[in-house]
Amino acid sequence: MRKVILAMIICCLGFAAYGDTQFTARVDKTSVALDDVVSYTLTVAGSGANNAPSPALPSFSNLQIISTSQSSNISIVNGQMSAEKSYTYTLQPTQVGQAHIGAANINVNGQTLTSNPIDITVTEATGNKPQQQAQQRQSFPLLRDDDFFNFAPPHFRQSQPVKDPVKVLSKVNRRSAYVNQLVLLTFSFYRRVNLFQQPSFAPPNTTGFWSIQLPVSQRLREVELDGYRYLAQDFRTALFPTSPGKYTIGSASLTAQTDPFSNPQTFKTNPIEITVLPLPEDGKPEDFAGLVGRYKMQVWAKETTIERGKPLQLTAKVWGEGNIQTISEPQCKVPKEFRKISAAAEEKLDKNSTNISGSKSFEIVLIPLKEGSFTLPPFTFSYFDPSQNKYVRLTSQATPIQVTPSSVPLPNEYTENLDDDKAQGTVDINIPWNKIGGFIIIIIASIYLWIGLIVVALVGLGVWAVKRYQTASAIDPARRALKVAKKKLRRSYNLINANKLKEFIGEIFTATTKYLGDKYHFSSAGVTADSLREILSKKGISEEIQKQVEDFNDECDLIRFTPSSLTKGKATELAKIAEDLIVLIEKQ
């Protein structure tokens, strides 16, 4: 009898040890009825147990796991700490006969510990279902949301393995879209079990799209898929195609652990093909800058009566639905009596779970150059409305402006060349030949006359050459552009050394703008950023240099109206930028 008992204990107990850490496997019975269950427990004990990972499960023959649980215990005896972790699996036989549990293993401190395999005999069912079901219900200590997962048989029972515990799906609201039209990508996560760790999400590859993540709703919804009820959560991304063609939204993946004793699983969605259409050429407005959606515009002036030379602030606001970040500044042909010095944009986004809306406001600053009554032309703004499949052009009201006189003179670069359209006057030189005719005969007789004539001729020839060079330079200022710029740069550095920073900013600004005007034959006074960009583009100046020129001019404009912000170090930096810009342009 003792031998039989000893044999049963050996069959029920597998043992493995490394150092002071032990790994054991045991079952509560080695013979089980078909309608009963077996409790299989893996225990790791010793100093390494506290930090030990979950064990790698063995193979199960003629048995299936219907629930799991975990427990741990730490004790200190005589100053010595010992830890023990137990992983219990409730197993249900699948048919009468022999069942087998393979060897489990666990890695502790870099060493692999292995348990012994166990054989179990499965006998005929006893019909004791109430006891079985009660035991099965107790075997879900980690399962929460019982009301949701409490399905009536045969649809879903907690005592059965869960089929398709997690599902993922990606979809879009349209598979064909125009350039810059919203494509709403929705990643849906469905689960009908509880997760034992925070899932990790790998978003899809969205090359060819401008991507904006939308807010995630924490509220779960209940859906039915393939006859089962799931908890669902959606994650949405707003995509805006950047160019026409065929594109693929890649697979998204989610990694989740549905069982505490198994490795996390990765679930992937299918890729999605998107056809991006070019915007139609028919009816495209001249001021169209690529915006798609639905928008409105409003333009107003902070004040309509202002002194000459004072900054006039205009606000152009565009709002609506679409890719707000790509809204460009509304267009206006600013009269030559005004100079545009800056335009700052402020953006406000309103992102909900299905759309993007918002506004973009442009603060435009103009400097009135002459007193009088003027009317600023309407601002225009165009976009493409895919719902109507047509272009829409918005037009603001014209803005009347009254410019009053000012005793403060304008900066030199503003007043320079204001009257370039006036023809330069000519001076007629009338020589009174009738008064000097009587002296000709007397003078011609003199021997010294010829010597004098030669000297006068040489002097006249020199004067003529100088005048011709000066005339040519006046007609073609490009010949002297670099020389004038160098002279102004030297003066700018002298002003820095003399700490005359207010005079410096006007001089350094003139050095660059007059240089550009002389070199490329345009009036530098009153030229706008848009017209300067157009001129430099036609002259073959690279976009990078154009951007540097524009940034330099904007910074100078702003400093002129906030001179207290200019330091000696900043002035030196601006002078160096101007010098480098001129060198770059000369190399073009």
Predicted confidence band of residue 220 (pLDDT cuts 50, 70, 90): confident
- Residue 304's CB: how many other CB atoms inside 10 A? 12
> In terms of pLDDT, which residue wins out, 443 or 50?
50
- Is the preceding omega at residue 153 within 30 degrees of 0, hence cis? no
pLDDT bracket for residue 153 (50, 70, 90): very low
Residue 393 pLDDT: 96
pLDDT, greater one: 189 or 428: 189
Q: Helix, strand, or coil here: 359?
A: strand
State the pLDDT confidence band at 140, using cuts at 50, 70 and 90: very low
Q: Does residue 101 register a pLDDT over 90?
A: yes
Dump strand ranges (E) for 242-311.
245-249, 253-256, 265-268, 272-277, 293-301, 305-307
467: pLDDT confidence band, cut at 50, 70 and 90?
low
Strand order in the sheet with 31-33: 31-33, 118-123, 97-101, 60-61
Q: How many CB atoms lie within 10 A of CB 96?
A: 14
Give 447 or 376, the one with higher predicted confidence: 376
| 3-class secondary-structure state, position 540 | coil
Residue 275 reports pLDDT greater than 90: yes
Rounded to the nearest integer, the mean pLDDT of the chain is 78
d(CA 342, CA 336): 16
Q: Would you tell me the crossing angle of helices 543-561 and 568-587 to the nearest 10 degrees?
A: 150
Burial bucket for residue 481 (CB in 10 Å: 0-12, 13-18, 19+): buried
- Give CA–CA dist 390/178, Å, rounded: 12
What is the pLDDT confidence band of residue 533, given thresholds at 50, 70 and 90?
Answer: confident
Give the integer Cα–Cα distance in Å for 64 and 574: 77
pTM above 0.75?
no
Q: Is 257 helix (H, G, I), strand (E, B) or coil?
A: coil
Residues in the chain: 588
What is d(CA 160, CA 228) in angstroms, rounded to the nearest whole number?
Answer: 14
Domains and CATH numbers, the chain: 2-141 (2.60.40), 166-277 (2.60.40.740), 293-410 (2.60.40.740), 478-587 (1.20.120)
Cα-Cα-Cα-Cα dihedral sign, residues 509, 511, 517, 523: positive
Q: Which residues, at least 6 apart from 390, have a Cβ–Cβ distance to it below 8 Å? A: 283, 384
Tokens linked to 231: 């908890």
Is residue 1 helix, strand or coil?
coil
Res 428 pLDDT > 70: no
**Three-state DSSP state, 151:** coil
Residues 6+ apart with CB under 8 A from 96: 34, 122, 123, 124
How far apart are alpha carbons 108 and 49 in whole angstroms? 8
Query: Residue 38 is which amino acid?
Result: V
563: helix, strand or coil? helix
The C-alpha atoms of residue 279 and residue 295 are separated, in whole angstroms, by 17
Residue position matching structure tokens 């040489």: 458
Cβ–Cβ under 8 Å, residues 330 and 381: yes
> CB within 8 A of 535, min separation 6: which ones?
516, 520, 522, 527
Please give the torsion angle defined by the CA atoms of residues 365, 367, 373 and 377, in that order, rounded to the nearest 10 degrees: -40
Where does the pLDDT of residue 399 fall: very low under 50, low under 70, confident under 90, or very high at 90 and above? very high
pLDDT score recorded for residue 526: 56
Give the separation between CA 231 and CA 486, rounded to whole angstroms.
Answer: 73
Give the pLDDT confidence score for residue 585 in this predicted structure.
84
Condensed to tens digits (0 to 9), the pLDDT of residues 329-386 reads 999 999 999 988 877 888 898 888 888 999 999 999 999 999 999 999 999 999 999 9
CA–CA distance, 500 with 572 (Å, rounded to integer): 12
Instruction: Give the pLDDT confidence score for residue 56 in this predicted structure.
Output: 81
To 10 degrees, the CA torsion angle through 115, 116, 117, 122?
-100
* Overall average pLDDT of the 146-161 stretch: 36
Q: How many CB atoms lie within 10 A of CB 209?
A: 21
| Alpha-carbon torsion angle 238, 243, 245, 250, nearest 10 | -40
C-alpha separations of 319 from 113, 210, 325, 350 in Å: 66, 19, 11, 11
Q: Which tops the pLDDT comparison, 419 or 568? A: 568
